[in-house]
Amino acid sequence: MRTHEKSAYQTGRYRNVLAELGIAETAIEARLEAVWAALFGDADEAVRFYYPLGADIAYILDTGNLDVRTEGVSYGMMMAVQMDRQEVFDRLWRFAVTYMQHREGRYKHYFAWHCKPDGTRLSSGPAPDGEEFFAMALFFAAARWGDGEPPLDYAAQARQILRACLHQGEDGAPGDPMWDPATKLIKFVPESPFSDPSYHLPHFYELFAERADARDRAFWREAADASRAYLQLACHPQTGLAPEYAHYDGTPAPPQRHGDYRHFFSDAYRVAANVALDWEWFRRDPWQVEQSNRLLRFFRPIPVADYRRYTIDGQPFDEPALHPVGLLATNAAAALAADSEDAAYFVRLLWETPLRRGPRRYYDNCLFFFALLALSGRYRIY
């Protein structure tokens, strides 16, 4: 266990796991640029997911559902700031502000979670993982490029989002906050009494505690600790698998009107990558090493082609994974925290795997690119 090592936050140095495995730096750089070009360029319609709209706006298309989601737009913004692509970042942010962000009512300053590519809203309600990624990407943009005129006054925009996330509905105003005030845990949606383990980003909250409004900084420090404790409850102690939705005590939430999310499936893949990135950035919780080891131990005997839906205690359903490349990517990202021999196996396997092509590519390739950034030491704090 590497508990004696200082964190990237302390040192400003980030592990390059790919280089540790002997992959040349020139090859790593070339792969990053090639993946960026494939996803954000227009050379291959079977791979890309970024689409300009007019002179200064663009969106990320969920190619499986043919809609635009706050998840995808905020992910694209994070990818852009990590890759130092300000024009792409600004185009995506303008789409979010123009078409997705509410100006009034119970969701004021929140974002409609999905819309059509032309900006027509398909739903008014927000999904909190979008808001937290928007805020963090905006803070990084402010640090990397400096603030511009609204809506490109990045840091002010981020603070406005976080202010709404904690204080919506106060003083008799309509609406609900995105974090439960009592437990300090992020909700699945503002009105829900449960959470989504893959939404928990304690490494973001540590930085919000430095950059959000002064009155809220203590809350964000407590939220980081609360999320780390929550993930220990939500992840199975033998398999490391987490459910898609879970109560505030970590137990799986019951079936919802839109499906049964008690099990390990698409949303839950992200937990592994989030845990590992928190370890890389802050190294506050040695459990994260053990958790990453047990998760990789569970998946090591299973070929990627055989990935499925699982109960959290590891029983497979007769239902293939919708996003096997995405699951492989998050398993590989766990190598940032894992210290078992399984870590190198998954990193090499990801390196040898191409981007997914076809209608389901959006989610897989988002997770693929985030894993590649993290494992190359390019997913950084700005």
* Identity of residue 111: F
| Contact (CB, 8 A) for 95 and 117 | no
Give the per-residue pLDDT at 2: 38
Q: What is the residue whose two structure tokens read 């974090």? A: 179
Q: How confident is the model at residue 258 (pLDDT cuts 50, 70, 90)?
A: confident
Residue 281: enclosing H or E segment and its boundaries? helix 270-281
pLDDT of residue 259: 83
Residue 366, token pair as written in the block: 């988002």
Does the structure show a pLDDT above 90 at 137?
A: yes
CATH match of 50-178 with 1.50.10.10: yes
pLDDT on residue 1: 31
Query: Given pLDDT bands bounded at 50, 70 and 90, which one contains residue 5?
Result: confident
As a whole number of angstroms, the distance between CA 244 and CA 184 comes to 19
Q: What's the pLDDT tens digit per position in 109-126?
A: 999 999 999 999 999 999
pLDDT reported for residue 250: 97
pLDDT in tens, 89-100: 999 999 999 999
Sequential DSSP letters for 46-77: TT--EEEETTTEEEE-BTTTTBEEHHHHHHHH
Banded model confidence at residue 254, pLDDT cuts 50, 70, 90: confident
Which residues partner with 186 through β-bridges?
A: 179
At residue 177, the pLDDT reads: 98
Q: Can 1-48+180-382 and 50-178 be said to share one CATH topology?
A: yes
For residue range 53-89, what is the model confidence (pLDDT) as tens digits? 999 999 999 999 999 999 999 999 999 999 999 999 9
Average pLDDT of the segment spanning 20-32: 98
Q: Which pLDDT tens digit goes with each residue over 328-350?
A: 999 999 999 999 999 999 999 99
Domain ranges of the chain: 1-48+180-382, 50-178
- Whether residue 138 is predicted with pLDDT greater than 50 in this model: the reply is yes
Q: Binning pLDDT at 50, 70 and 90, where does residue 255 land?
A: confident
- Cβ neighbours, 10 Å, residue 293: 20
User: Could you tell me which residues come within 8 angstroms of residue 313 by beta carbon, excluding any fewer than 6 positions away?
Assistant: 236, 238, 239, 241
List of E strands, 79-206: 114-115
**In the predicted model, is pLDDT for residue 360 greater than 50?**
yes
Mean pLDDT of 20-31: 98
Residue with tokens 């190598």: 335
pLDDT digits (tens, 9 = 90+) for 149-201: 999 999 999 999 999 999 999 999 999 999 999 999 999 999 999 999 999 99
Average pLDDT, whole number, for the chain? 97
Any idea which residues carry the catalytic annotation?
71, 267
pLDDT of residue 4: 46
Query: What is the pLDDT at residue 3?
Result: 43
What is the share, in percent, of the chain residues with pLDDT greater than 70? 99
pLDDT tens for 266-293 read 999 999 999 999 999 999 999 999 999 9
Span 303-313, pLDDT tens digits: 999 999 999 99
Q: What is residue 256's predicted lDDT score, i.e. its pLDDT?
A: 84
Domain 1-48+180-382 has CATH 1.10.630.10: no
321-337 in b/e burial notation, b at 16+ Cβ within 10 A?
Answer: bebbbbbbbbbbbbbbb
